[in-house]
Structure 1
Amino acid sequence: MHGRRAAAPGPVRLQPRRSGPTRAAHSSPRAGSRAPLSPQAPEPRAPRRAHTGVLRPAFSAVAMTFVGSMMIATSVPALAVTASDPEHRASVYAPVADDSISLRPQALEVASEAELRPLTTDGYAVEAAPPPIVSQVAGLGSVAVIESDLIVWPVSNPEKRASGFGPREAPCSGCSTYHDGVDFNPGNGAPVMSIADGVVVLATENGGGLGVNVEVQHNIGGELITSSYAHMQYGSLAVSEGQRVSAGQQLGLVGSTGQSTGSHLHLEMFGADGVRFDGFAWLSTHVS
Structure 2
Amino acid sequence: MNHDTASPQQSGTGDDIPLTRRQLRERERVAERRTAVTPEVPARTRKARGSAVKSKRVRVSPATFTPSGLPRRRGKALASKALSFVAMLFAGALLVGVSVPSNAFVSSEDMAAAAAPRSEAANLAADSRPNQSLAVSDDVVNDVARQDNIKVISYAEVLALKYAGVSYEYRATAGAIRWPFPYEIPITDGFGDRIGGFHKGTDFAAPERTPIYAIAEGVVSYIQSDYSGYGYNAIITHVVNGQQVQSQYAHMVTGSSPLVVGDPIRVGDFVGLVGATGISYGAHLHIEIHLDEVPVDPFAWLTSNAVN
> Scaled by the length of structure 1, what TM-score is found?
0.45
Q: Radius of gyration: which is bigger?
A: 2
Structure holding more helix per residue: 2
TM-score (norm 2): 0.42
